[in-house]
């Protein structure tokens, strides 16, 4: 059993855009987190961030894992590297925050979860959309029962593509690595799948999908639409695309007693429209603000560090990451077979 600490020393593995613009600034902003070390195979990249945050740097992640001063790691590597590094980190006794998707196969994801459990360490997956103020408030309203059962929904996540945010630009692994089983589904759709699991408090049980590659130089899909059904029978769509010139991040839930509208743009990130014509508008911090202007306020790192300090379960567990990945891989199977696939291979229900 780990002892209570006043400070969590963290090593960040991978110094690409997600580390540079989100995890490292958020770690730096947390009063009880210390950036002990960073690691990247690109020495110039690692050394630059190490200087900025007055930390050590490594070129080999295994050397970082051998550093006894490090309590926890954040894995910011390409998807196909998540499982190997996470399992080794768990075996080294480091608590883990891993970027989404948890892995590229269910077998890898299960290895990560089992390694964390067997070593008595914490594993969190970075599905950051749960922390948006609009989504947090919507969850409270849904759980209150005021709007009744959710009957249908639609959710969209689209932007201009990974070449416009990846530190590698047009050499992003999405365009150069054909061993990864997905494109935009594993990048954007998976975020919305996890968000639906969280908001609805239940898992998606059936999925079918249509995808295409319209603009990007990749063998993976750059646009997808999933039609899904949840355990209670609610149906809806999940749309994801790398072809949008303007980012879209909207979710709408149609309930028995009204409609919840989130992140549709405009002044109010959250709107509740009741069947009796009454409406409530919430002026909250919107998702687009922290995505574009204040990435250090995503809430992911703060939740991770606070859970470690308080010895609490992670807000987004390895099982949650596994369940979201399961839907994506089932959607890929559904498109290949032109069928509706029952999402049956999953770990315990962990939707909170």
Q: What percent of the chain has pLDDT over 90?
A: 85
Enclosing H/E stretch for 270: strand 270-274
- Looking up tokens 């002044």 gives 267
Instruction: Return the H-helix or E-strand segment holding 331.
Output: helix 318-337
Look up the CATH number of the domain holding residue 268.
3.30.360.10
CATH number at residue 34: 3.40.50.720
**Predicted local confidence at residue 351, as pLDDT:** 44
- 262 and 337 both lie in a single domain: yes
- Give burial (CB, 10 Å; 0-12/13-18/19+) of 247: middle
Number of C-beta neighbours around residue 73 at 10 A: 29
- Average pLDDT, stretch 1-24? 86
Q: Calculate what percentage of the chain has a pLDDT beyond 70.
A: 93
Residue 285 lies in a domain: yes
Does some domain include residue 299?
A: no
**116 and 263: one domain?**
no
What tens digit of pLDDT does each residue of 224-251 get? Answer: 999 999 999 999 999 999 999 999 999 9
Task: Please report which confidence band the pLDDT of residue 352 belongs to, taking 50, 70 and 90 as the band edges.
Answer: very low
* Residues 70 and 109 placed together within one structural domain of the fold: yes
Identify whether 120 is part of a domain: yes
In a domain, 310, yes or no: no
User: Mean of the pLDDT values across residues 77-85?
Assistant: 97
What is the number of structural domains in the chain? Answer: 2
Q: What is the pLDDT of residues 118-162, one digit of tens each?
A: 999 999 999 999 999 999 999 999 999 999 999 999 999 999 999
Residues 124 and 163 in one domain: no
Q: Are 163 and 265 contained in the same domain?
A: yes
Average pLDDT of span 34-60: 98
Residue 87: strand, helix, or coil: helix
Q: Beta strands 235-241 and 150-158: pairing type?
A: parallel
Predicted confidence band of residue 177 (pLDDT cuts 50, 70, 90): confident
**In angstroms, rounded to a whole number, what is the distance separating the alpha carbons of residues 198 and 130?**
7
Residue 1 has a pLDDT of 39
Q: Supply the pLDDT for residue 44.
A: 97
Q: Among the three residues 98, 128, 158, which one is the final residue of a domain in this structure?
A: 128
pLDDT over 50 (residue 350): no
The pLDDT of 281-293, averaged and rounded, is 71
Statement to judge: residues 324 and 197 lie in one domain: yes
The 10s digit of each residue's pLDDT in 66-76 is 999 999 999 99
Write out pLDDT tens, residues 300-348: 999 999 999 999 999 999 999 999 999 999 999 999 999 999 997 666 5
Is residue 352 one of the residues assigned to a domain? no
What is the residue range of 250's domain? Answer: 130-293+318-342
Closest among 65, 61, 63 to 76, alpha carbons compared: 61
Q: Are residues 162 and 45 in the same domain?
A: no
**Farthest CA pair distance, the chain:** 62
Burial class (CB within 10 angstroms; exposed 0-12, middle 13-18, buried 19+) of 348: exposed
* pLDDT at residue 168, as a whole number: 83
Question: Model's pTM, two decimal places?
Answer: 0.94
Domain-terminating residue out of 77, 95, 128 = 128
Predicted pLDDT at 2: 47
* Mean of pLDDT over the chain: 93
DSSP string over 206-255? EEEEEEE--SSSSSS-SEEEEEEEETTS-EEEEEEES--SS-B--EEEEE
Domain final position from 71, 95, 128: 128
pLDDT at position 296, please?
Answer: 55
């Amino acid at each position: 059993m780990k002892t209570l600490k006043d400070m969590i020393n963290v090593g960040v593995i991978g110094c690409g855009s997600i580390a540079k613009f989100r995890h490292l600034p958020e770690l730096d902003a947390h009063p009880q987190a210390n950036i002990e070390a960073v690691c990247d195979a690109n020495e110039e990249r690692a050394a630059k961030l190490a200087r900025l945050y007055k930390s050590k740097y490594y070129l080999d992640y295994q050397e970082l894992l051998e550093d006894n001063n490090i309590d926890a790691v954040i894995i910011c590597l390409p998807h196909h590297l998540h499982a190997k590094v996470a399992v080794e980190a768990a075996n080294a006794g480091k608590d883990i925050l891993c970027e989404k998707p948890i892995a590229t196969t269910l077998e890898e994801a299960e290895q990560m979860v089992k390694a964390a459990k067997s070593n008595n360490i914490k594993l969190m997956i970075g599905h950051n959309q749960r922390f948006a103020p609009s989504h947090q408030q919507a969850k409270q309203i849904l759980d209150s029962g005021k709007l009744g059962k959710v009957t249908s929904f639609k959710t969209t996540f689209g932007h201009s593509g990974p070449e416009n945010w990846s530190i590698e630009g047009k050499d992003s692994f999405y365009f150069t690595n054909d061993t990864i089983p997905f494109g935009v589904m594993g990048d954007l759709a998976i975020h919305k799948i996890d968000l639906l699991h969280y908001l609805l408090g239940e898992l998606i049980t059936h999925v079918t999908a249509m995808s295409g590659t319209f603009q990007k130089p990749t063998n993976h899909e750059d646009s997808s639409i999933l039609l899904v059904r949840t355990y209670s029978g609610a149906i809806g769509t999940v749309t994801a695309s790398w072809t949008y010139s303007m980012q879209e991040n909207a979710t709408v839930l149609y309930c028995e007693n009204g409609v919840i509208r989130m992140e549709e743009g405009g002044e109010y990130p959250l709107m509740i429209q009741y069947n009796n014509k009454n409406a409530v508008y919430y002026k909250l911090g919107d998702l687009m603000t922290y995505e574009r202007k204040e990435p250090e306020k995503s809430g992911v790192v703060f939740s991770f560090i606070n859970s470690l300090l308080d010895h609490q379960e992670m807000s987004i567990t390895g099982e949650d990451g596994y369940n979201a990945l399961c839907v994506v891989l089932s959607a890929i199977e559904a498109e290949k077979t032109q069928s509706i696939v029952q999402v049956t291979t999953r770990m315990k229900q962990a939707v909170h």
